[in-house]
Structures are given as C-alpha cells and as structure tokens.
A = this chain, B = another copy of it.
C-alpha cells in the first residue's frame, strides 16, 4: 500500500483505543497542564469550536457539548419537578452546572471536582460552558468525589449527577459498586441519579459492567440506559443512565412543561420527543445489558 498517513500533533488531536481512532483537526493548543491527576488541554479546533481533553480523551467541544450536558441534566430534572438539593460529581467544565441553574426549584448544588486544573482551564478558555461556575446556588468543592459520598449524610440529595471521564485514572473509582452504594445511601427516598455510562461501541466492557453494577445497587427495573449522539466522541454513540430509588419512570415527564422550558431556554439538543426516544434502545444494545 502507500506511505503512512501522518497526523501531526500540532494539527490533529487523536482520541483512540487500539481498534478505533477519532482524529479532530485543530488550529492550536490554548492550554496544557499536567495536574497531579491527569493531563488537561484545551484546543482551538478547525470547525468544532474549542475543545477540552483529559489525557487526550475528548471531554467536550463547543459545537457538540449541548447534546451531552442537556441530556444528562434535563432528563432527570424534567422527570421530577420537585428537585431541591443536587450533588454533582466531576463536571469540571461547568456545562452540567449551566444546565442545572436554569431551574428555579433547585435550592442548592454541591459540585465535587477532583482536579482544579479542569475548572481553571474551563473558566479561562470555555466561558460558554463554564459560565455558571460562580453561581450563588453552587458550592464548588475541589475534592475526591468518592471520599465525599462516603462521608455524606444519608438521604441528603434529590438528584446526584455523576459527570465523569472514562474509567481510567482518577475516575476509575466512579465505576464501582461501593461508590454507587454510597450514592444510593445519600439519595432521598424519591431521589434520582443520572450519569455518563460509556459507549456500547467504543467501551462495550465498561458499558455493560456499569449497567450491571447499577442494577445490583438500585434494582433491575429502576435503571434505564439512554442514548445520545455525540459526534466528537469516538463512535458517536454514547450512553447515559438514569436510575431512581423509588421506581419513578423517566418517561413520566410533563410534555407541556418540557415544551415551555425548552422554548424559554432555547435549548439545542433536548426536547420532549428526544427525551422519550433516547430510551428506545436498538435490539443489540438491549441484549448487551440483558434486556433483549
């Protein structure tokens, strides 16, 4: 065949496993820091706006981040209208917080991010994503989320969002049964969780194991996987998971309320049809998680 195709790292960022690789063309690097936990970088891409990576895994691009952040937050928030106290683990770029502060019914948001470099880089270079990180309802702690939930009081949150990177490095402990047992304990009786739960195509093992782990903690019929198109994550198919302590269906949202909310806030990805449809899984994915 021909000579090798070279991806010059001044021109391309590569998010890869050993079988599939997504390369995104960049104009320049804006931020680089080896924190105690990981390598944090921000790039100016050619056509996806600015992009945050951790250990060269794409966390978000300005062009696509709404799909992830809107679906992670509005699915649980529209399902239960009485959420007051929210705990967020991870979420250093701030996109999840930006979506949460749209809700007047929320009284407190506690965010626990382990790496202040992610917060600092996002505040400086991703203002459209990090814009709510100074919000008065937010208590932002730079701390270990695993330790935080171990020490948190029982029945203290209505919603816990786990907005983590992949299960390597500091996020590894966020994919364990003991972590989710603590999460479960901290939730109020009608509490909900929503989390990033990996790609059934790019990370099938982590996707399946996490689903199994969550069903072990919450009960099989209280855990619901849903899918989001994220073009700048490798494979483009990504899962989030909703679970509830009391069995509230994620499809029990109020269509009129959703319509008013999405129009008022001019959302980019989320709408009522998408909320419902995201839970319709292709048959092969249902089979992967024992639902087919």
**Identical copies in the complex:** 2
A89 → B minimal CB distance (Å): 26
Q: Which of A138-146, A163-171, A262-270 contacts B (4 or more CB under 8 A)?
A: A262-270
| Contact, CB under 8 Å: A268 / B280 | no
Residues of B contacting A12 in the complex (Cβ-Cβ under 8 angstroms)? 5, 21
Contact for A22 among B20, B227, B274, B284, CB less than 8 A: B20
- Given A23-B20, A227-B229, CB of A271 within 8 Å of CB of B282: yes
**Interfacial chain B residues near A48, Cβ < 8 Å:** 19
In the complex, the chain B residue whose C-beta lies closest to that of A67 is: B282
**Does chain B have a CB within 8 A of A36?**
no
Question: Closest residue to A269 on the B side, CB-wise?
Answer: B282
A89 to B5, CA, bound (A): 34
B283:A262 contact, CB within 8 angstroms: yes
| Residues from chain B with Cβ under 8 Å of A6 in the complex | 4-7
- Distance of A24 Cα from B202 Cα, bound (Å): 12
Query: Which one of B64, B67, B280 lies within 8 Å of A273 (CB-CB)?
Result: B280
Tell me if A201 is interfacial: C-beta within 8 Å of chain B: yes
Q: List 23 A-B contacts (CB under 8 A).
A: A1-B10, A4-B6, A5-B6, A6-B7, A7-B7, A19-B24, A19-B48, A20-B24, A20-B231, A21-B24, A22-B23, A201-B229, A230-B236, A231-B235, A231-B236, A231-B237, A235-B236, A267-B283, A268-B284, A270-B283, A271-B280, A274-B283, A277-B278
* A67 neighbours in B (Cβ, 8 Å): 282
The 3 closest A-B pairs by CB, nearest first: A236-B236, A277-B277, A273-B280
Chain B residues contacting A274 (CB-CB under 8 Å) are: 280-283
Please classify the interface of chain A as helix (H, G, I), strand (E, B), loop, or mixed, using the class held by over half of its residues: loop
A3 — which chain B residues lie within 8 A by C-beta? 9
User: Complex Cα distance A64/B66, Å?
Assistant: 26
Is A124 among interface residues, defined by CB-CB distance under 8 A? no
**Any B CB within 8 A of the CB of A107:** no
**Does A276 sit within 8 A of B, measured CB to CB?**
yes
Instruction: Judge whether B25 and A19 touch: CB under 8 Å.
Output: yes
* A14, B22: Cβ atoms closer than 8 Å: no
Most buried by B among A3, A9, A10, A23: A23
A5-B7, A8-B4, A22-B20 are contacts. A201–B271 as well, Cβ < 8 Å?
Answer: no
Residue among A3, A231, A280, A283 facing the most chain B CB atoms (10 A cut-off)? A283
Distance A23 CA – B6 CA, assembled complex (angstroms):
12
Evaluate whether A19 and B7 lie within 8 angstroms (CB atoms) in the complex, with A201-B231, A231-B236, A283-B271 already known: no
Nearest Cβ on chain B to A113's Cβ, whole angstroms: 26
Residues of B within 8 A of A29 (CB): 1
Interface: A2 (CB within 8 A):
yes
